[in-house]
Structure 1
Amino acid sequence: MIKSVLQKTKKLYFLGAIVLLAIVHFSFKPAMTEQEMLTWSNKCLTESYDPSGQVKLKKWELVLTDDAFIRLRKTYTNGKQEYFSFQLHRFTDMDYMGSTVNGTLQLKAVADDIIVQTYNDPREDIDTMATQLNIPVKNMEPERLDSLQMVLNYFKNKGL
């Protein structure tokens, strides 16, 4: 009887070890390639951008380019365009203010390294620089923010 219990216990340990090895083997994912990171970050930015607070916004485009630039272009119904751009090697930090439902993603640069331009502005076209780019976003879970920050830091360090 003791021999039978020991055999069953050994079998359970053996099966447990096999299951554990299978879990580790199949749950391990290789690191994302640079192209996959770029694709993921653009999908994240596109899905998260929240144009709802800008009622006169006709269209917008927010991308991370393959040469590590963040570019945001907004076109309003009156024809005015706003354009923001900066190279991620000048990226210093990312903050988030808000909830998981909506908030503002703040991308910060070393100095006045963010290009800010307006076109077709009835008041005046502007060509200036800024240290921070505020992006209205929605549905940003903490894990998604962390992943986005890791990708931005990767592209920042790649350019150095």
Structure 2
Amino acid sequence: MQTSLIPAKRKAFLITLISLSGLFFGGFRPVMDEQEWINWGNRFLNENYDPTVEPGIKKFEIALTPDHFMRLRKTYQQGKQEYYSFSLKRFAEMGYIPGTAATDTLEMKTQADDIIYQTYEDPQGDIDSMATAWDIPVKKLSPQRLDSLKQALNFLKGKGL
């Protein structure tokens, strides 16, 4: 049996000291940078957006962009398209509205009428308008995931152009 050259308490202290030194000397980075938040937000939105709420959707594209916009384009089977977009620098708050057993709603709010809503190739006529709130159907989410999304949006809001 081999004995340690450093007693257990001292070893634990040294490991803690070395780990903490990274905080002061740049070796450890506890927060994500801008691109990591964008990547994380895109993964979150694409995994949790629930297009089944509208059965006529053929495809959708939802994204946080490098220029700090949140965008959604829905294409329906008949060819109609809906487009939503807003600059994250205008983001005011995010709400979570419970819904059915599988789907809830994220409510994005902006400071004023800052959300662009447009339709294309709509048989009832194309729309080009602005709104203050935008409801996004999502799968059931834990409070921790919601907090993470809110943190990402607020971080990117602060980095807005």
Q: Could you say which TM-score interval applies, normalised by the shorter chain?
A: 0.7 to 0.9
1:17 deviation in Å? Answer: 3.3
Q: TM-score, normalised by structure 1?
A: 0.83
Structure 2 counterparts to residues 28-67 of structure 1, below 5 A = 29-67=29-67
RMSD between superposed Cα atoms in Å: 2.4
Aligned residue-pair number: 150
The runs of at least 4 consecutive aligned structure 1 residues that moved more than 6 Å come to 22-26
Q: What residue ranges of structure 2 are gaps of 5+ in the alignment?
A: 1-5, 23-27
Question: For the Cα contact (< 8 Å) 1:101–1:140, is it kept in 2?
Answer: no
Q: Which residue of 1 is the match for residue 129 of structure 2? A: 128
Work out whether 1:14 is the aligned partner of 2:10: yes
Structure 2 counterparts to residues 107-122 of structure 1, below 5 A = 107-122=108-123
Which amino acid in the other structure matches residue 97 of structure 2?
A: M
Question: For the Cα contact (< 8 Å) 2:74–2:83, is it kept in 1?
Answer: yes
Q: What residue ranges of structure 1 are gaps of 5+ in the alignment?
A: 1-9
Which amino acid in the other structure matches residue 34 of structure 1?
A: E
Q: Which residue of 2 is the match for residue 6 of structure 1? A: none
Give SS of 1:154's match: helix
Larger helix share, 1 or 2:
1
Identity of aligned residues (%): 49
1:30 deviation in Å? Answer: 3.1
Work out whether 1:77 is the aligned partner of 2:77: yes
Cα deviation, 1:102-146, whole Å, max 9, x if unaligned, reads: 310111011111010011111111111110111100142211111
Question: For the Cα contact (< 8 Å) 2:80–2:119, is it kept in 1?
Answer: yes
Q: Of the two, which has the highest radius of gyration?
A: 1
Q: Which residue of 2 is the match for residue 155 of structure 1? A: 156
Q: TM-score, normalised by structure 2?
A: 0.82
Give SS of 1:136's match: strand
